[in-house]
Amino acid sequence: MKKILLGMLLPVLTLVLVTSCEKDMDSNPTFHENTTGFVLNMPANAANNVLDLLTTDQLTFTTSQPDYGGIPLSTNYDVEISFEDFSAEEPVYKVVASSTSATIKVSGSRLNDAVITMFQDANEGVTYPSNEVKDLYVRLHANVNGMELGSCYSNVIKIQVIATYQAPSITLPEDIYVCGSSIGTAWTTWRPMALINGMAGNFFTIVYLPNDAEFKWGTYPQQWLGHADFKTIDDQAGADVSDNGGNVKVKNGGWYTLYIKGKINGEAIDYTLTFYPAQLLVTGDANGGFTPGTPSAPMIAPADNTGQWISAEFVSGGELRAYAQVGDFDWWKTEFTLLEGKVFWRENANIASNWNTDMGSEYSVNAGAGQKLYLTVGATEDGVDRGEVK
């Protein structure tokens, strides 16, 4: 009799257990993406106040976890700042802090540096207007910590701040050189790069690099910096650049403009290298004047650095104005003339009118109609290019 009763009870117990589990699972929360956002609160010391960031100890941003279906999850928060209100489809912003806590403290000095950097990134070469009150927009980006889930944004708050530019103790280099397998005398000539007018830390040079050429660089001769010393290398000329034992190696030969940019990052300098196709051009009176719509006349490059760059015949007489095209920089920022038969780059020379008026007759080259400009580039032992008009 006991055996019969036990056999009858087993199905009933199983049914009860299954039913209980189903009810328990029905009551468990289920993860879902947040579609409503979450709330970022205004820091107490920022409400109705202009914050001098250098004298502000810290700002405390507080929030509560986004609704992920009632599940308490470890959430990462990024504090994003912008000079705009984040309404653009692709807003420009900077992340100043990240935390897994819903209370995030950001020091005033860190926020000050971030504001300055963000301004400099958008206004290269422009001095930051210290002591000027600026509107700063702040929001939080949240996601489930360690996972690509739960990405959502808080509301945007606006605070008013005064940031102050502080000159770092480190300074940008005044010179940069390149040395390589095909530059002047192989691995001996340290070719000086030219400074871009008004752009501290921005240098360029034109070189011929045959197939598989290699080079190093430095802020002074014999420094022997290499590929790894660039934060990024941007090949916009199809050179096919690689690292070969520390050297910068170019697979595809040709004439290239090397553009090296140094940018202060805290107490260090980040250097970037960009390859452009080499271009030398003539403008001004010898090319028909500066009349709007008159294009500059490109010089013809030789097959390699044993030949000469040659311009088209000058269409009229007047002072020679010539330049290298480097990215999107204006022509006068990369202009050159001839001084005693050598290429003389304008760099930071203040030329408001012309070479003759502002620098002297020795810097001024008179071009005649029908003449041409001839340049020998990148082949000399001293690294200085030569030229003549005839």
Kindly report, residue by residue over 61-101, the tens digit of the pLDDT: 999 989 888 888 889 999 999 999 999 999 999 999 988 89
Start-to-end CA distance of the chain, whole Å, equals 125
Q: Tell me the two tokens of residue 151.
A: 């990405």
pLDDT given for residue 69 in this prediction: 82
In angstroms, rounded to a whole number, what is the distance separating the alpha carbons of residues 58 and 97?
12
In angstroms, rounded to a whole number, what is the distance separating the alpha carbons of residues 269 and 230?
10
Kindly report, residue by residue over 103-118, the tens digit of the pLDDT: 999 999 999 999 999 9
Burial zone of 173 (CB within 10 Å; 0-12 exposed, 13-18 middle, 19+ buried): middle
Q: What is the band of 1 on the pLDDT scale with cuts at 50, 70, 90?
A: very low
The region of weakest confidence among 11-15, 127-131, 249-253 is 11-15
Which residue did the predictor score with more confidence, 69 or 14? 69
Other CB atoms within a 10 A radius of the CB of residue 13 amount to: 9
Closest C-alpha among 343, 191, 179, 167 to residue 266: 167
215 residue type, one letter: F
Q: Give the three-class secondary structure for 374.
A: strand
What is the per-residue DSSP string for 108-138?
Answer: HHHHHHHHHHHHHHHSTTPPP-TT-EEEEEE
In CATH, what number does 280-389 get?
2.60.40.3610
DSSP state for residue 300 in the 8-state scheme: B
Q: What is the band of 267 on the pLDDT scale with cuts at 50, 70, 90?
A: confident
Q: Which fold has domain 44-162?
A: Immunoglobulin-like (2.60.40)
| pLDDT above 50: residue 230 | yes
**CATH 2.60.40.3610 domain range(s) in the chain:** 280-389
Cα dist from 152 to 36, 148, 165, 301, whole Å: 8, 11, 33, 54
| pLDDT above 50: residue 14 | no
Q: What is the band of 12 on the pLDDT scale with cuts at 50, 70, 90?
A: very low
pLDDT given for residue 381 in this prediction: 85
The length of the chain in residues reads 390
| pLDDT above 70: residue 360 | yes
| pLDDT above 50: residue 19 | no
Count of helix runs (H) and strand runs (E) in the chain: 3, 28
* CB proximity list for 49: less than 8 A, separation 6 or greater: 160
In the beta sheet, which residues pair with residue 160? 50, 135
In the beta sheet, which residues pair with residue 76? 143
Q: What percent of the chain has pLDDT over 90?
A: 76
CATH of 177-277, one of 2.60.40.3620, 3.30.870.10, 1.10.1780.10, 1.10.150.110: 2.60.40.3620
Report the alpha-carbon angle 195-196-200, nearest 5.
75
Q: What is the mean pLDDT of the chain?
A: 91
Which residues in 313-340 are b (16+ Cβ under 10 Å) and which e?
Answer: ebbeebbbbbbbbbeebebebbbbbbbe
Which residue did the predictor score with more confidence, 8 or 169? 169
| pLDDT above 70: residue 20 | no
Q: Give the three-class secondary structure for 216.
A: strand
- The residue whose two tokens read 């990240």 is 98
Cα dist from 11 to 16, 25, 79, whole Å: 9, 21, 57
In angstroms, rounded to a whole number, what is the distance separating the alpha carbons of residues 198 and 337?
18
In the beta sheet, which residues pair with residue 344? 337
Q: What is the band of 166 on the pLDDT scale with cuts at 50, 70, 90?
A: confident
DSSP state for residue 31 in the 8-state scheme: -
Closest C-alpha among 157, 147, 259 to residue 199: 259
Kindly report, residue by residue over 273-329, the tens digit of the pLDDT: 999 999 999 999 999 999 888 899 999 999 999 999 999 999 999 999 999 999 999
* CB proximity list for 378: less than 8 A, separation 6 or greater: 183, 184, 191, 206, 207, 208, 305, 385
| Contact indicator for 189, 383 with CB cutoff of 8 Å | yes
pLDDT given for residue 70 in this prediction: 82
Put simply, whether the predicted model's pTM sits higher than 0.75 gets the answer: no
